[in-house]
Structure 1
Amino acid sequence: MVAELGNKILVAGGAVAVAVGAYLPWLRTNPNLPPDAEVPTIYYTGMGAGFEGFDFALLGAVGLVLLLRGASFRIPIRIVAGVGTAVFPVYYLSYSTLFGFSATFVPALGWYLTVLGGILLSVAGGLQLPSLIHRLKATATPRE
């Protein structure tokens, strides 16, 4: 009972973190750049607030997790969606040499929230795995 409540909290927290993180900007200008640094005046997806481009795919993955939450689905969808949601922002930073932790454009709050939400969904899926494996073993029948 307590484990189920913790799992619900993880899923809800992950879903909220991904939704808010997808809405907020993922990139901002590096505040540690020297004052005379030349910052290109270019707009990349993820620099502004609001839902655009890849945000819909991330929200779709979270929506799928929430939709299948109550169903006894055999595939650990929370882990798949969680890992995908946590890995995509990391991949996004490798999109350009202008992105990174010490580049011209650094991750903003939305990027961190999206990664956190993916990690929370992954943990919720990981906690689901033992019961899924136990259920599969219990329903398996020996062959004669």
Structure 2
Amino acid sequence: MTKRLQSITNKTAPIGAIIVIFLLWLFACNMELVPAYMLPSPVDVVKAFVDNFPIMMKQASVTLQETIYGLAIGIVIAFVVAALMDRFAILYKAIYPVLVVTQTIPTIAIAPLLVLWMGFGMAPKITLVVITTFFP
């Protein structure tokens, strides 16, 4: 007689957890435990999502465009720099330490500087994606 291994994952637990979190959220909002400007009710969130859906889709397309541009530029630059560093040992010795040091700077610290230097357009966002994509 063979013993079947029981699955250690429960299929209903994630759904149950989501329902419990949703009900706690609804309860906290209905009992006004938290001000509405800090934690709007789930009904208000869904209503705002439906009302603002066209605006969000327009902004999502712009974000996707910035992401694709930044990813493409970052991959191309990373490939060229990696190929040059592999081919020329002097470039590797000169560039690699700088790349390692720049990895210690958090992205959240770079973003405001990029906005100051490049303005509020697409350029700082694309540059941030390039920086994030380049190093890995």
TM-score, with structure 1 as normaliser: 0.27
Based on CA coordinates, which of the two structures has the bigger radius of gyration?
A: 2
- Which of the two has greater helix per residue? 2
Higher RCO (CA < 8 A, seq sep 6+): 1
- Which of the two has greater strand per residue? 1
TM-score, with structure 2 as normaliser: 0.28
